[in-house]
A and B are shown apart, each in its own frame.
Chain A
Amino acid sequence: MQTELTLRSTAVARRFWVLTALVLALTLLSSMLAIRYVALPFFKNYQYSAIQAQADEASGHLDALLSHNQVLMSIIANDPNLINIALGFDENPEYMPDVLQGLRMTQELSWVTFYDAFDEPLSTYDVRPDERQFFEQGEISDLLADAHREATPLRQPILLHARGKDTYLVLTTPVLHQGYIEGMLLSGYRLDTEAIFPANDIVKRTYLVRTPSDMVQSGSAEVRALEDFQISVILVPDQVAVQTAGRALLSNSTLAISIVLVGAFAIFAIASKAVIIEPHQALEAKQAELSELAAIAQRANDAIIITDLDSKIVWTNPSFEALTGHVLEDVRGMSPAAFLQGPDTDIETRAKIRNALERRQAVQADILNYRHDGTSYWVSLSISPLKTDKGQPYGYMAISNDVTEARAQHEAIIAAKREIEHQAIHDPLTGLQNRRGLDRALALRAEIPDQSTTIVRFDLDHFKNVNDTMGHDAGDFLLREVAHILQTETRSTDLAARVGGDEFVVLLDPSATSQDGERLALRMLERISTPAIFDGKPVRVGASFGVASTRDGLLAFDQLNIGADAALYEAKASGRNCAHIYSSELHHKVLNHRTLARELRHAVEREEFEPYFQPQFDARTHEIVGVETLARWHSPDLGLQMPTQFLPVAEQLSLIEDIDNQIFEKALKQIDSLQPLGIKIPKVSVNVTVDRIGNEEVYQQIKTHHSDGPMIVFEILESVLVEEQNDHFHYGLDRLRDAGVQIEIDDFGSGHASVVGLMQLRPDAMKVDQRLIRPITADPLAHEMLTHIIGMAQLLDLRIIAEGVETMEHARMLRDIGCHTLQGYAFCKPLPVDELRAFVLQHEARLSLRALSS
Chain B
Amino acid sequence: MLRDVLKWLLAICVCVSVSKNNPAAATPLEIFIDADFAKSPASSTSIELGIRTALEEVDYRLGGLTVTVVQKDHRGNVKRSFRHMQEMQASETALLMFGGMHSPPYLTHRDFINENSLLTALPWSAAGPITRAGRDLENWIFRLSVDDFQSGRFLVDAAITQGGCQSVSLLLMDTGWGHANRNTLEAALAARDLRPDHVEFFPTAIGEAAAGTLVDELGRFNPECVIMLSDWRNGALIANALADRLPGVKLFSHWGIMGGAFSQNVPHETRTALSLSVLQTCGLRRERSGNPVLRAALRQALPEARSLSDVSAPTGFVHGYDLTRILISAAEQAARGSDWQGDIDAKRRALKAALENLHQPVPGVLKNYKTPFSPYDVTAPDSHEALGQTDLCLARFGADGRLEDPR
Q: Do A and B come from one complex?
A: yes
Q: Which residues of A contact B (CB under 8 A)?
A: 78, 80-81, 83-84, 86-90, 116-118, 120, 177-180, 182, 808
The answer to whether B79 touches A84, judged by C-beta atoms less than 8 angstroms apart, is no
The answer to whether A118 touches B78, judged by C-beta atoms less than 8 angstroms apart, is no
The answer to whether the Cβ of B108 comes within 8 Å of any Cβ in the partner chain is yes
The 9 closest A-B pairs by CB, nearest first: A88-B78, A80-B203, A88-B79, A80-B205, A178-B39, A89-B175, A87-B77, A83-B205, A89-B104
The answer to whether B204 touches A182, judged by C-beta atoms less than 8 angstroms apart, is no
Per the bound structure, the CA–CA distance linking A180 and B75 in Å amounts to 8
Task: Determine the chain A residues whose CB is within 8 A of the CB of B288 once the complex forms.
Answer: none
The answer to whether the Cβ of B206 comes within 8 Å of any Cβ in the partner chain is yes
Chain A proximity mask over B53-79: 1 for CB below 8 Å, otherwise 0? 000000000000000000000011111
The answer to whether the Cβ of B271 comes within 8 Å of any Cβ in the partner chain is no
The answer to whether the Cβ of B174 comes within 8 Å of any Cβ in the partner chain is yes
Q: What residue of chain A has the Cβ atom nearest to residue B83's Cβ?
A: A118
Per the bound structure, the CA–CA distance linking A86 and B78 in Å amounts to 9
The answer to whether A84 touches B76, judged by C-beta atoms less than 8 angstroms apart, is no
The answer to whether B216 touches A808, judged by C-beta atoms less than 8 angstroms apart, is yes
The answer to whether the Cβ of B176 comes within 8 Å of any Cβ in the partner chain is yes
Task: Determine the chain A residues whose CB is within 8 A of the CB of B25 once the complex forms.
Answer: none
Q: What residue of chain B has the Cβ atom nearest to residue A91's Cβ?
A: B108
Per the bound structure, the CA–CA distance linking A177 and B233 in Å amounts to 12
Count of interface residues, chain B, beta-carbon cutoff 8 Å: 25
The answer to whether B174 touches A84, judged by C-beta atoms less than 8 angstroms apart, is yes
Known: A80-B203, A88-B104. 14 other contacts (CB 8 A): A80-B210, A83-B204, A84-B204, A87-B77, A87-B79, A88-B78, A88-B79, A88-B105, A89-B204, A118-B80, A177-B76, A177-B205, A178-B76, A180-B38
The answer to whether A117 touches B203, judged by C-beta atoms less than 8 angstroms apart, is no
8 intermolecular pairs with C-beta atoms under 8 Å apart: A84-B203, A88-B82, A88-B105, A88-B108, A117-B79, A178-B39, A178-B205, A180-B38
Per the bound structure, the CA–CA distance linking A84 and B204 in Å amounts to 7
Q: Which of B356-375 contact A (CB under 8 A)?
A: none
Per the bound structure, the CA–CA distance linking A120 and B77 in Å amounts to 14
Q: What residue of chain A has the Cβ atom nearest to residue B78's Cβ?
A: A88
Task: Determine the chain A residues whose CB is within 8 A of the CB of B174 once the complex forms.
Answer: 84, 89-90
Task: Determine the chain A residues whose CB is within 8 A of the CB of B233 once the complex forms.
Answer: 178
Per the bound structure, the CA–CA distance linking A319 and B375 in Å amounts to 159
The answer to whether B77 touches A117, judged by C-beta atoms less than 8 angstroms apart, is yes
Per the bound structure, the CA–CA distance linking A89 and B104 in Å amounts to 7
Per the bound structure, the CA–CA distance linking A86 and B79 in Å amounts to 8
Task: Determine the chain A residues whose CB is within 8 A of the CB of B38 once the complex forms.
Answer: 180
Per the bound structure, the CA–CA distance linking A81 and B210 in Å amounts to 13
The answer to whether B205 touches A117, judged by C-beta atoms less than 8 angstroms apart, is no
Least CB distance, A568 to chain B, in whole angstroms: 56
The listed residue (B39, B176, B212) touching A177 by CB distance below 8 A is B39
Given known pairs A88-B104, A88-B108, A89-B175, the reply for A182 and B75 (CB within 8 Å) is: yes
Task: Determine the chain A residues whose CB is within 8 A of the CB of B78 once the complex forms.
Answer: 87-89
Q: What residue of chain B has the Cβ atom nearest to residue A853's Cβ?
A: B203
Task: Determine the chain B residues whose CB is within 8 A of the CB of A120 once the complex forms.
Answer: 79
The answer to whether A117 touches B175, judged by C-beta atoms less than 8 angstroms apart, is no
Per the bound structure, the CA–CA distance linking A343 and B198 in Å amounts to 132
Per the bound structure, the CA–CA distance linking A88 and B85 in Å amounts to 15
The answer to whether A87 touches B203, judged by C-beta atoms less than 8 angstroms apart, is no
Q: Which of B200-224 contact A (CB under 8 A)?
A: 203-206, 210, 212, 216
The answer to whether A180 touches B39, judged by C-beta atoms less than 8 angstroms apart, is yes
Q: What residue of chain B has the Cβ atom nearest to residue A116's Cβ?
A: B79
Least CB distance, A140 to chain B, in whole angstroms: 19
Task: Determine the chain B residues whose CB is within 8 A of the CB of A178 once the complex forms.
Answer: 39, 76, 205, 233
Task: Determine the chain A residues whose CB is within 8 A of the CB of B75 once the complex forms.
Answer: 177, 180, 182
Given known pairs A88-B82, A118-B83, A808-B216, the reply for A80 and B77 (CB within 8 Å) is: no
The answer to whether A118 touches B79, judged by C-beta atoms less than 8 angstroms apart, is yes
Task: Determine the chain A residues whose CB is within 8 A of the CB of B81 once the complex forms.
Answer: 88
The answer to whether B216 touches A87, judged by C-beta atoms less than 8 angstroms apart, is no
Task: Determine the chain B residues whose CB is within 8 A of the CB of A177 once the complex forms.
Answer: 39, 75-77, 204-205
The listed residue (A80, A87, A90, A179) touching B206 by CB distance below 8 A is A80
A88, A117, A179 interface centre (most CB from chain B within 10 Å) = A88
Task: Determine the chain B residues whose CB is within 8 A of the CB of A116 once the complex forms.
Answer: 79
Per the bound structure, the CA–CA distance linking A84 and B175 in Å amounts to 8
Least CB distance, A56 to chain B, in whole angstroms: 37
The listed residue (B82, B176, B203) touching A81 by CB distance below 8 A is B203
A83, A84, A179, A808 interface centre (most CB from chain B within 10 Å) = A84
Per the bound structure, the CA–CA distance linking A188 and B108 in Å amounts to 32
Q: What residue of chain A has the Cβ atom nearest to residue B212's Cβ?
A: A808
Per the bound structure, the CA–CA distance linking A123 and B77 in Å amounts to 18
Q: Which of B80-95 contact A (CB under 8 A)?
A: 80-83
Q: What residue of chain A has the Cβ atom nearest to residue B105's Cβ?
A: A88
Task: Determine the chain A residues whose CB is within 8 A of the CB of B203 once the complex forms.
Answer: 80-81, 83-84
Least CB distance, A622 to chain B, in whole angstroms: 12
Task: Determine the chain B residues whose CB is within 8 A of the CB of A808 once the complex forms.
Answer: 212, 216
Q: What residue of chain A has the Cβ atom nearest to residue B79's Cβ?
A: A88
Per the bound structure, the CA–CA distance linking A118 and B203 in Å amounts to 22
Per the bound structure, the CA–CA distance linking A47 and B284 in Å amounts to 80
Task: Determine the chain B residues whose CB is within 8 A of the CB of A117 once the complex forms.
Answer: 77, 79-80
Least CB distance, A306 to chain B, in whole angstroms: 114
Least CB distance, A57 to chain B, in whole angstroms: 37
Per the bound structure, the CA–CA distance linking A117 and B38 in Å amounts to 15
Q: Which of B209-263 contact A (CB under 8 A)?
A: 210, 212, 216, 233
Per the bound structure, the CA–CA distance linking A88 and B84 in Å amounts to 14
Per the bound structure, the CA–CA distance linking A179 and B41 in Å amounts to 14
Task: Determine the chain A residues whose CB is within 8 A of the CB of B205 once the complex forms.
Answer: 78, 80, 83, 177-178
Task: Determine the chain B residues whose CB is within 8 A of the CB of A87 once the complex forms.
Answer: 76-79, 104, 204
Least CB distance, B207 to chain A, in whole angstroms: 9
Q: What residue of chain A has the Cβ atom nearest to residue B109's Cβ?
A: A88
Q: What residue of chain A has the Cβ atom nearest to residue B108's Cβ?
A: A88
Per the bound structure, the CA–CA distance linking A89 and B233 in Å amounts to 17
Per the bound structure, the CA–CA distance linking A89 and B76 in Å amounts to 10
Per the bound structure, the CA–CA distance linking A88 and B81 in Å amounts to 10
Task: Determine the chain A residues whose CB is within 8 A of the CB of B216 once the complex forms.
Answer: 808
Task: Determine the chain A residues whose CB is within 8 A of the CB of B39 once the complex forms.
Answer: 177-180
Least CB distance, A809 to chain B, in whole angstroms: 9
Least CB distance, B315 to chain A, in whole angstroms: 21
Q: What residue of chain B has the Cβ atom nearest to residue A79's Cβ?
A: B203
Task: Determine the chain A residues whose CB is within 8 A of the CB of B77 once the complex forms.
Answer: 86-88, 117, 177, 182
Given known pairs A117-B77, A180-B39, A182-B75, the reply for A89 and B83 (CB within 8 Å) is: no
Per the bound structure, the CA–CA distance linking A86 and B83 in Å amounts to 15
Q: What residue of chain B has the Cβ atom nearest to residue A181's Cβ?
A: B75
Least CB distance, A202 to chain B, in whole angstroms: 49
Task: Determine the chain B residues whose CB is within 8 A of the CB of A179 once the complex forms.
Answer: 39
Q: What residue of chain B has the Cβ atom nearest to residue A89's Cβ?
A: B175
Q: Which of B14-68 contact A (CB under 8 A)?
A: 38-39
Least CB distance, B258 to chain A, in whole angstroms: 17
Q: Which of B84-126 contact A (CB under 8 A)?
A: 104-105, 108
Q: What residue of chain A has the Cβ atom nearest to residue B206's Cβ?
A: A80
Per the bound structure, the CA–CA distance linking A118 and B77 in Å amounts to 11
Task: Determine the chain A residues whose CB is within 8 A of the CB of B206 once the complex forms.
Answer: 80
Least CB distance, B96 to chain A, in whole angstroms: 22
The answer to whether A89 touches B176, judged by C-beta atoms less than 8 angstroms apart, is yes
Q: What residue of chain A has the Cβ atom nearest to residue B216's Cβ?
A: A808
The answer to whether B204 touches A80, judged by C-beta atoms less than 8 angstroms apart, is yes
Per the bound structure, the CA–CA distance linking A88 and B104 in Å amounts to 8
A80, A89, A120, A182 interface centre (most CB from chain B within 10 Å) = A89
Least CB distance, B79 to chain A, in whole angstroms: 4
Least CB distance, B127 to chain A, in whole angstroms: 12
Least CB distance, A122 to chain B, in whole angstroms: 10
Q: What residue of chain A has the Cβ atom nearest to residue B234's Cβ?
A: A80
Task: Determine the chain B residues whose CB is within 8 A of the CB of A86 once the complex forms.
Answer: 77
Task: Determine the chain B residues whose CB is within 8 A of the CB of A83 once the complex forms.
Answer: 203-205
Q: What residue of chain B has the Cβ atom nearest to residue A117's Cβ?
A: B77
Task: Determine the chain B residues whose CB is within 8 A of the CB of A182 once the complex forms.
Answer: 75, 77
Chain A proximity mask over B178-206: 1 for CB below 8 Å, otherwise 0? 00000000000000000000000001111
Per the bound structure, the CA–CA distance linking A612 and B307 in Å amounts to 57
